[in-house]
Structure 1
């Protein structure tokens, strides 16, 4: 007769995962998928600032790629305000849809 503690007996085959342990495991997996912010060179920063300024001056639509630790977000709109002290821009995407974006978080911009 096989022991209940070995050879896939009753105790070994009835393992449970507590909800707290499952949540902790999923949180740990989420942290491992987190990425670091890419380092941009001076030329890329200059191109980003140029595209932002051109959108502000000429009311042209600009496409911005905003960094996020898990998945980058791509936003299209017109820059209507540039706040130099806090280094933020106001991007209007529709009639009542706008967002404030920190310039440091922008990793790509194109007109």
Structure 2
């Protein structure tokens, strides 16, 4: 007897996929990876604003965690400008970047290396 007629052989032997099925499978795989922006607690928002203001006023280096649908990223730099409480300019090693406040997940002040060597 043929292998096609045994067990699940009829379906196993026909490996045809419609283009619509392939498109839907790829779309659903991307949706699994896509992340949703978390809702921040009021205390975290206050801390973010304080660290950005401190970096701007005292020219201290700050690490900013930025939300992205396909993955979060971290940038390290100094805040050089704040635009109407909607976005701020982060001066990086190679240029600068405007970052929306709504996309910031967390911030922290980076201690300078000189602080570790003082006696």
TM class, shorter-length: 0.7 to 0.9
Does 1:27 pair with 2:27? yes
CA drift at 1:45: 0.5
CA drift at 1:24: 3.1
CA drift at 1:32: 2.2
DSSP 3-state at the match of 1:101: strand
Pick the aligned partner of 2:98 from 97, 100, 105: 100
Distance 1:2 1:76, change over 3 A: same
Whole-Å separation in 2 of the counterparts to 1:15 and 1:100: 49
Q: How does 1:1-111 map to 2 (within 5 A)?
A: 1-2=1-2, 6-7=5-6, 8=9, 12-18=12-18, 21-84=21-84, 87-95=86-94, 97-111=95-109
Aligned-CA RMSD value:
2.2
Query: What residue ranges of structure 1 are gaps of 5+ in the alignment?
Result: none
Whole-Å separation in 2 of the counterparts to 1:57 and 1:67: 25
CA drift at 1:35: 2.2
- The number of aligned residues is 107
CA drift at 1:100: 0.9
Whole-Å separation in 2 of the counterparts to 1:3 and 1:79: 69
Whole-Å separation in 2 of the counterparts to 1:3 and 1:69: 46
Where is the helix percentage greater, Structure 1 or Structure 2?
Answer: 2
